[in-house]
Structure 1
């Protein structure tokens, strides 16, 4: 396997000085038995940022791919997330994730959902702050946090989240949450960045793909990159992995960014963080 990272992938600096590749690879809904091979393919393609979660059930596969790759640990950026049902036991949950990944430390650890109905995310954050202080996690953050959730966490915690990972794509941009996050120096990370494929059919996206000699996915990913989002597309196809990674070479003008941004429809694909209460156990 090649140990050369894709030098063209831009990096963003988080609010604690840690750098993160702006374009990474997500493994949501990748079956555990397929994860090692798919992540090995992603690393071979040039990805150095891998995003998983305890709830996905595939951390061990990610870890096996990392171990087999021979890539120096310092060249990799690995994210995982705390299950909703383990917010009251975050330290032990983190240790289980760390062991499953086979890593000495994790680069970014996120509270997966706020689950306001169980009122435990501040407790989880306090435990994560301690792990961060001990150097077991290089950066801590949140996922699916709405503006009110951020307010509560910022008031109660001692550490500002480094990242808020949210559903974000051209037809669902969460402008209020994104602006709130950025106003506190919290970097926005987009999951379902292509609208699970639905945003690729937009006429504007197709027109720009033709203009730039790019795929529709590359146009949408270039829009994310040009908008300052971290983005973590997923694909099981090695050719598409490489096509997605090549989005870093597509530069959209301010006018083109605005054209893609005008596709906002307010249509969420995933669960609503205000009411989502599944345990993920």
Structure 2
């Protein structure tokens, strides 16, 4: 798996931009000569690298089988740190933009029956998943909600194509999503995918607490609460490629310490959500504080999200 030290960037052109719902625009990216772009799989993301040092992560939501274009959809955030505002207000057809990735932290796995739950802009990674399982002839249904019907991007496209397998549930008309009724008891062969705001994911987690391991897969917009760090003292981080050593104090992240040492690392969310800053660990034991790695990946200890994760011991050696 590529890490922050090895990912490449592409310069792509904005081919078109369109309004998809209240507060959501889609952007289609490609190269002017229609060259083939790196392949991707449902659930994948790219990094949009914007002026002023902004890097933002967006789900790929276009046609997986279109080799020459990427499509993303961007919600204008009321508390935007600059990324969504730039996409909505300034990014225009013909503009060039740097793109990192794609990478996938929300993999689609084989199942007999899929239950997709999407809240708001959380529909974006679900769109190519539905396209994929439909091609396979698998059983699936989608529960899709948001504040209002007008805010639900791609809702008309989904209902026109898939009919009653798509359950549209605007909150102002019907209340909160009926997660328990929709997901049921988690029969063998059923896998649930959920992407959306924290209260929706909390409701899904609560209902599926007794489901078998691996049968519920979620993607978060906001980091989940974590326990205090294992270590409260400073520790040393050795950067194997550059030969440098940095001290990470309790008030500083590994990412910031590495950058202060003059080693550039691509990052996006800086909350342990997106995987952009994933870095290989060559020695030492990470204190994992992200919301991406599963228990097996954490036990392996060969990678970490350096924006939030720390060290269990005095020293870490990173592949940077």
Task: Give me the TM-score of the superposition, normalised by structure 2.
Answer: 0.31
Q: Which has the higher contact order (CA 8 A, sep 6+)?
A: 1
Task: Give me the TM-score of the superposition, normalised by structure 1.
Answer: 0.34
Which one has the bigger helix percentage?
Answer: 1
Which one has the bigger strand percentage?
Answer: 2
Choose 1 or 2 for highest CA Rg.
2
